[in-house]
Amino acid sequence: MKALVTGAAGFIGASLSGALLKRGYNVIGIDNLNDYYDVSLKEGRLKLLQCMPNFQFKKLDISNCTEMEELFSVGLFDTVVHLAAQAGVRYSIENPKTYIESNLVGFGNILEGCRQGKTSHLIYASSSSVYGANTTLPFVETDNVDHPISLYAATKRANELMAYAYCHLYGLATTGLRFFTVYGPWGRPDMALFKFTRNILSGEPIPVYNRGQMVRDFTYIDDVVEGVIRVIDKPPKVTAASEGIVTITPWRIYNIGNSRRVQLMDYISTLERELGKKAQVQFLPMQDGDVPATEADIGKLEADFGYRPRVEVEEGIARFVAWYRAYYRNNI
């Protein structure tokens, strides 16, 4: 099986690529290696992948139409896992144009590449951010998601609708995955766990928004990768009428979360115990574009694929701290 993974140097992309390689896939990974966060972290992830057989990396930008046309013209992919995107709710307020180029234009290029290349299955990253200011927990895939409160969320919802159109018109089988606060070793430096760990160890204050009244569904990276792989193994079926018109649109959306509410202050307390050091907490008001609570209903993913997360927050934080200490001890 030949898989294209976009964003292969990213947090989820690198972990997924490694898992696919271990399962015998030929993986072509692409990434533009932008400087949204420390590029050396991305290069470190790639270094691990490049030690494995059947991995090929190309530095490409999904928003570059010419590069994407060339990529799909020279290689046919059984599966495309599209994880490349400009991430971050808060950054989208400061740099909206970047999100339009990467998350909208870039996704359009991927859809068109899959159509022209007759890809069997496109899996793409959506986000829990699409649920916006919904207050009823847990979030269910059938909830209304037409009122995003950040541009990042709007681009992810737009991706879902763009995918639906391609499914309906061209029979392109797609699965969108709404990720809930993914964390773990090799994570992103702009995410809470990474920032909190760095600041606590250096004796700097940690910013805690909404004065600590936050709830999150923290999902460990290995559980996310397991969910993605299960989806890859079972693409939606395409049913067509005799005239060739698609009669059943092969479009699916799933939540991938831990399905457990965790109070942010409890999360910080667990991290303090693991580090053996107290945090200097700086309580701040809610940020624009942020939400006070998230929790995933994963019943649909469990019913269709037998998915159940295995790593509880306490264990996940311990694994992250162990990685963080080792990585920065060896990379200073």
As a whole number, mean pLDDT of residues 195-217 equals 95
What would the two tokens of residue 309 be? 């997360």
Band (pLDDT 50/70/90 cuts) for residue 242 is very low
Give me the pLDDT at residue 244, please. 53
φ, ψ of residue 117 to 5 degrees: the values are -85, 0
Q: pLDDT by residue (tens digit) across 36-57?
A: 999 999 999 999 999 999 999 9
Residues facing 205 on adjacent strands: 280
Q: How far apart are CA 195 and CA 207, in angstroms?
A: 9
Q: How far apart are CA 295 and CA 40, in angstroms?
A: 32
- Are the beta carbons of 158 and 104 closer than 8 angstroms? yes
Q: Is 296 helix (H, G, I), strand (E, B) or coil?
A: strand
Query: Looking at the predicted structure, is the pLDDT value of residue 71 above 90?
Result: yes
Number of residues that this document lists for the chain? 332
Band (pLDDT 50/70/90 cuts) for residue 290 is confident
Instruction: Print burial letters for 14-46: b (CB count within 10 Å at least 16), e (below 16).
Output: bbbbbbbbeeebbbbbbbbeeebbeeebbebbb
What would the two tokens of residue 111 be? 């859809």
Q: pLDDT by residue (tens digit) across 135-181?
A: 899 999 999 999 999 999 999 999 999 999 999 999 999 999 999 99
Give me the pLDDT at residue 313, please. 97
For residue 209, CA distances in Å to 62, 132, 215, 244 come to: 33, 17, 11, 53
CA triplet 88, 91, 94: central angle to 5 degrees?
Answer: 160
Listed by start position, the domains of the chain span: 2-330
What's the whole-number average pLDDT of the chain?
Answer: 93
Among 219, 241, 106, 229, which residue's Cα sits nearest to residue 175?
229
* The residue to which tokens 């541009």 are assigned: 151
Catalytic residue, chosen from 36, 37, 91, 152, is 152
Give me the pLDDT at residue 330, please. 67
Q: How far apart are CA 177 and CA 187, in angstroms?
A: 18
Query: Looking at the predicted structure, is the pLDDT value of residue 62 above 90?
Result: yes
Give me the pLDDT at residue 245, please. 52
- Active site annotation includes 328: no
CA distance from start to end of the chain: 39
Among 158, 191, 9, 157, which residue's Cα sits nearest to residue 87?
191
Q: How far apart are CA 129 and CA 88, in angstroms?
A: 10
β-pair type (182-183, 219-220): parallel
Q: How far apart are CA 309 and CA 294, in angstroms?
A: 16
Q: What is the pTM of this model?
A: 0.94
What would the two tokens of residue 160 be? 């879902």
Give the alpha-carbon dihedral of 121, 126, 131, 133, to 10 degrees: -170
Task: Categorise residue 158: left if φ over 0, alpha if ψ from -120 to 50, beta otherwise.
Answer: alpha
Q: How far apart are CA 328 and CA 198, in angstroms?
A: 10
As a whole number, mean pLDDT of residues 303-311 equals 96
Query: Looking at the predicted structure, is the pLDDT value of residue 241 above 80?
Result: no
Give me the pLDDT at residue 237, please. 77
The residues near 40 (Cβ < 8 Å, ≥ 6 apart) are: 331
As a whole number, mean pLDDT of residues 125-131 equals 97
Give me the pLDDT at residue 236, please. 85
* Structural fold of domain 2-330: Rossmann fold (3.40.50)
The amino acid at residue 23 is: R
